[in-house]
Structure 1
Amino acid sequence: MRVAAVSGAADAEASLRALATVRQVLPSRLRHRIDGATFTTLPADAAVAADSGVLMDVNAAVRAREVLRFDYVSVGRDPDETPSQRRVEPHHVVFGNGRWYLAAWDLDVDDWRIYRLDRLTPRTPTGPRFTPRTVPGGDVSDFLAARFKGSDRGSTWPCTGEVVVVLPAREVIPFVPEGIVEELEDIRCRIVVGSWSWVALAASIGRFDATITDVRPRELADACALLARRFADIGRIDSL
């Protein structure tokens, strides 16, 4: 119920009411555990379930400032594959992009890492207590937003460019949720948008079924040319 209340679920209000009722009859030990659970939320469209026991165990390690050991299956691998073992200083439990994450300092790689809780299985017991480090930038939400965008230098995209699209702004705006769309004359508009790489940015711009001009900077134009050659090669292969 606590998870539903902070994860953008449609029944969040009902979950809060039910939680208040249940809390009154819980033993003090369990009330303390629930009251101590803290989460950060980021905007999301659709949630991916995470085991409530995993959420509570990870959050307990965050609160206690104890090293957390867990088995982890990396994103892109089959969830049934043999997991790797991790040792981290858990910093914060975060809900964003429809999933639960753990922001932590990985003791084996000596760097910050983000782990999906739906791919994580805590091990017991937890390790020794630690002194919390400061998350890069000082704000866990900004740090997560930056990592989602493939950046280590704040929450801005590492690659940002602009183009003019021969389409009315009203037809483009729904497909540019994190960019700028400027209406121009003659049913044209200028788009300023970012991505984690120039090729990815070129691909996102190429989805518009319209003429594109005034591509800037040079890196974006080069990425467009690279994609054009790749797509041309695909066309030749299919025609054989």
Structure 2
Amino acid sequence: MANTSTRTLRLLSLLQTHRYWPGGELADRLGVSIRTLRRDVDRLRELGYPVEAQRGVDGGYQLAAGAALPPLVIDDEEAVALAVGLQAAAESPVEGIAEASVRVLAKVAQVMPARLRRRVEALRAVTVPIGGGTPAGPGVDPDRLTAVALACRDTERLRFSYSAADGRGSRRHVEPHRLVCLHRRWYLVAYDLDRQDWRTFRLDRLSSPQGSGTRFGPRELPAEDAAAFVRAGLDGVPRPHRVQALVAAPAETVRAHVGRWGTVEEVDAGHCRLLMTADSLDWPAMALGSLGAEFRVTAPAELRVLVEEWGARFTRAAGAGAAG
């Protein structure tokens, strides 16, 4: 008979695969008595898993929603699917999704066997992502991304090679602070130990990251947060399009929708001004259109033309649907 810990994990795995398990069938699958099954269920409850029991001859068990998310047990196929999905989500334009995806991906990658890593990479190599809005920035290798994410999490000093915008290469020794996904690109905010100052590094220009094994204490970032620090650095970099629009919605509503993708200035209780910078006008047009509020583009003229073209196209599409 399997030891108690192994059997408990097996029980948890079974409970996660079916919505409801009859008690007798579950005991048979585990090769234990009904009494032992009850003890194992009680052990899961002590660990924070909300297991509900139904009494009677046809009684059984099922996992229920709890107050907190307990650890999950997943098989090889699910682990591969999770990693591939997280890599795709890391390119998401939705605020907070990309950063959270990388944090979870780092946890999964840390414990994933090499054989599963190879399957993940094979799937990624033959999968074409479905994009929308602003084209994705230069690709970042997932291993590089997770290595940097782990160094940030563990407050471990990091060494890597870096290519500047003019092509000049250098070796860097930093204290990594946070990863930030902005304008479909990944940035590392870190304290550069050689230059004795805070710096922003684009991950697509970073290679061969290696943890030094040396831990460090946190430093105070000279900005509200890491995203604000990156944005301040990018403000001095020329970008093709600077968007301004007047939106007939409260500033807080628009700010919650666009998040870090733009700056929202309150005009009055029911109106605000949205400011954005972008490599392509498609994303600002989509963002404005998805606000569910009236808006007027004040700059640039090219965005006004694009919105007008899209509006005419959507009007024709609606007319064609009505006629059909």
TM-score normalised by length of structure 2:
0.37
* Higher relative helix content: 2
TM-score normalised by length of structure 1:
0.48
Q: Which has the higher contact order (CA 8 A, sep 6+)?
A: 1
Larger Rg: 2
